[in-house]
Chains A and B, each alone.
Chain A
């Protein structure tokens, strides 16, 4: 392994790698945000919905969780454009990851909500809170403590799944790295470097999650 050659090539390629990293972060942040919003909604429906909506949403969750992310990405890119929604590769990829994220967050939220004893909802009702108020002031604060650790896990999964967008031509960190490798042939060095960057990214996310966990934990 020629270390100084690697450093020189790394410096040459810094702009394309930084752009790739920027795309990876953008894809992950947008997918996790949209996926979480959709996921909370799904979790609520799963907990409080009628049997028919619960059944349809259950199908949605099981279908998405039972499908490889790779297949989801290809489906969003190709099948949607056959039907007439012509999404760019970036949009299709973000859509696929958002759907994937929402199904996981939905299950997390549902689990957290049903773990809260029914007596609390009844107590809230008895002091005259509406459902919205019950949810925001009674259930959500408790559920959040349950949700956070697994939600952070999902976020790191999405960061890793974003590498699959390289297949449909989104130049995120992995594809940017592969482009550099194809020019320099330093495959081990650059793959190792990319792996390290992904690790750093996820390490930061996990540490941030832990910090929030500590802050909101009940003493």
Chain B
């Protein structure tokens, strides 16, 4: 009897929650009615989100937002950008300042308690950038030098831990922005800059022969867009758009963007059995 009662209560509660959810207006409808997407992203971190010389926001994060706008309105330009600092990503979502944020946001369990992450659209790793004519040849030389090495890194809660997992004895200097970090490397204040593989590759392409990659990458992390928690319909929609960008009808859009910012030509997803279940 008790068991049956429990089941009945559970069933009623499920139904009640379900109908409440259905009645609540989804962000999806709100955005469609409004006619443009409000995208939170930064403006100072190429190749993810930055102002080009025509003062237009560009980058891979921006392209992910454009992909969603294209899916919503058939027009990737129907976006109002909210330029936010990294610290503002979660507060701006929670206070409804933006519909979604795509701002090289590392998926962590702590953040997932405050916002809801979409499926990842990029897998980032960390590499070490060296001056081509610097004192250290490669990763082995850096590691051998122990605490004689100073590593510049972008400010982050996990920055110190992250560098030490590759170079346990190195001094770690944290910087506020990517350009200051490169400046530290240029001026010799740091011997290496620990930075994302994506940024590293983009920077080396822009400054040929000046820098080299130490040849070691570690610290995998997923980049996802994020939405305010509690709106499954909107989350599902964004997930579907990103998923089809990476595997389906919008693959050419995603692949063209990937080529532009990371210089890599992606293979077309294998036709036939869906790649994600391999």
B83 within 8 A of A: yes
9 tightest Cβ-Cβ pairs between the two chains A and B: A182-B44, A179-B51, A169-B83, A187-B179, A16-B55, A81-B95, A181-B179, A169-B84, A178-B44
The answer to whether B87 touches A183, judged by C-beta atoms less than 8 angstroms apart, is no
**What is the bound-complex CA distance between A15 and B96, given in angstroms?**
31
B82 within 8 A of A: yes
The answer to whether A78 touches B50, judged by C-beta atoms less than 8 angstroms apart, is no
**What is the bound-complex CA distance between A182 and B178, given in angstroms?**
7
**What is the bound-complex CA distance between A16 and B57, given in angstroms?**
12
**What is the bound-complex CA distance between A179 and B45, given in angstroms?**
8
A175 within 8 A of B: yes
Contact of B50 among A175, A179, A187 (CB under 8 A): A179
Interface string of B168-186 (1 = CB under 8 A from A): 0000000001111011000
Interface string of A8-28 (1 = CB under 8 A from B): 000011011001000000000
> Interface size for chain B: under 10, 10 to 19, 20 to 34, or 35 or more residues?
20 to 34
A188 within 8 A of B: yes
The answer to whether B96 touches A183, judged by C-beta atoms less than 8 angstroms apart, is no
Could you say which residues of chain A place their CB within 8 Å of the CB of B84?
Answer: 168-169
The answer to whether A171 touches B83, judged by C-beta atoms less than 8 angstroms apart, is yes
**What is the bound-complex CA distance between A165 and B206, given in angstroms?**
31
Interface string of A173-200 (1 = CB under 8 A from B): 0010011111101011000000000000
Residues of A that sit less than 8 Å from B by CB: 12-13, 15-16, 19, 78, 81-82, 86, 89, 166-169, 171, 175, 178-183, 185, 187-188
5 contacts between A and B (CB under 8 A): A12-B53, A169-B84, A178-B43, A180-B51, A182-B46
B32 within 8 A of A: no
The answer to whether A78 touches B55, judged by C-beta atoms less than 8 angstroms apart, is no
Could you say which residues of chain B place their CB within 8 Å of the CB of A168?
Answer: 84-85, 88
B52 within 8 A of A: yes
Interface string of B83-95 (1 = CB under 8 A from A): 1110110010001
Could you say which residues of chain A place their CB within 8 Å of the CB of B259?
Answer: none
Could you say which residues of chain B place their CB within 8 Å of the CB of A175?
Answer: 43-44, 83
The answer to whether A178 touches B53, judged by C-beta atoms less than 8 angstroms apart, is no
Interface string of B55-89 (1 = CB under 8 A from A): 10000000000000000000000000011110110
B111 within 8 A of A: no
